[in-house]
Amino acid sequence: MTAPEVSVLMAVYNGAADLARSMDSILNQTFENFELVVVNDGSTDDTAAILDNYRKTDERLVVVQQENTGLTGALNAGLEHCRGALIARQDVDDVSHPERLQQQVSFMASHPEVVLLGTGVRLLDGKRRPYKTVTRPSDDVEIARHMRKRNIFFHSSTMFRKQAVLDVGGYDPTFQQAQDYELWLALMESGSAANLDQALVDLYQGPNRISRQKARAQVGAALNAKKKHRTGRVLRKAPLHIFYWQLRGYILPPGTWNALVARFRR
């Protein structure tokens, strides 16, 4: 069987309420040469039944069933089943716009030096109403400068080259939070990073999002990611005060701030 050009990687733990919506947004993409790899990380709700029903009608769906290991372990398990040279990520409570994969694939094809590509996003409140559009710097130099302070990529919007990720060993299993930030810092050692300035993913900011539930743990893990890569391309010349910029997040973590804005928006 010919390998698909893109593997979309999703991990789910008790995400039955959002799973169909999220999967539909991928299965209805304008780009067609892809597979959707979903890791069911030991869910105890209706996740398994939903996946079984979808698998009966769409051969692009690859389901990996496993005992609960947490997000990092689930993503690494999923990587082992991804056949595409490009891998796109999406969380179960987020939604991709129909043209997302097509635009990212086209960009990666014309920019072989880029190993990591993100997009802009629309932020959704707890009732899934869009309240803000956010974009990030598109130039590698600007991205590296901002990454000294914090992770500026939205995990659900990213696409990366499979071989580059395999070369750095995948997601570091010692990181249960900020595993994406650690991986991006590692990937940026081997190639360039970029962002598309279009909002191509709807990002849920309700109270159940991991960045809200474990906000301060995310901050501590991000600081550990910086320590691990302190001599790398992004952080090598970072002033000490920028290196420890993450500590301000203990007062009001970014995930908490986004959730508060979503809740009290006018």
Quick one: pLDDT at residue 8? Answer: 98
Quick one: pLDDT at residue 196? Answer: 98
Quick one: pLDDT at residue 212? Answer: 52
From first to last of the 266 residues of the chain, give the pLDDT tens digit.
689 999 999 999 999 999 999 999 999 999 999 999 999 999 999 999 999 999 999 999 999 999 999 999 999 999 999 999 999 999 999 999 999 999 999 999 999 999 999 999 999 988 899 999 999 999 999 999 999 999 999 999 999 999 999 999 999 999 999 999 999 999 999 999 999 999 999 999 887 665 555 677 888 899 999 999 999 999 998 887 776 666 666 655 555 555 555 566 54
Quick one: pLDDT at residue 191? Answer: 97
- Report whether CATH 2.60.40.420 matches the domain 6-264: no
Angle, to 10 degrees, between the axis of helix 179-187 and the axis of helix 71-79?
40
Quick one: pLDDT at residue 68? Answer: 98
Distance CA 88, CA 49 (A): 24
Quick one: pLDDT at residue 237? Answer: 84
Q: Which residue from 149, 160, 153, 158 is spatially nearest to 222, judged by alpha carbons?
A: 149
Distance CA 30, CA 100 (A): 8
Is residue 188 classed exposed, middle or buried when 0-12, 13-18 and 19+ CB atoms within 10 A define those classes?
buried
Q: Which residue from 237, 255, 244 is spatially nearest to 178, judged by alpha carbons?
A: 255
Q: What's the maximum distance between 2 C-alpha atoms anywhere in the chain?
A: 54
Distance CA 81, CA 211 (A): 26
Residues 134/21/194/34 CA torsion (nearest 10 deg): -160
Quick one: pLDDT at residue 254? Answer: 57
Distance CA 20, CA 10 (A): 12
Quick one: pLDDT at residue 266? Answer: 46
Residue pair 51/63 in contact (Cβ under 8 Å)? The answer is: yes
Structure tokens at 107: 């960009």
CB contact set of 111 (below 8 Å; sequence gap of 6+): 192, 194
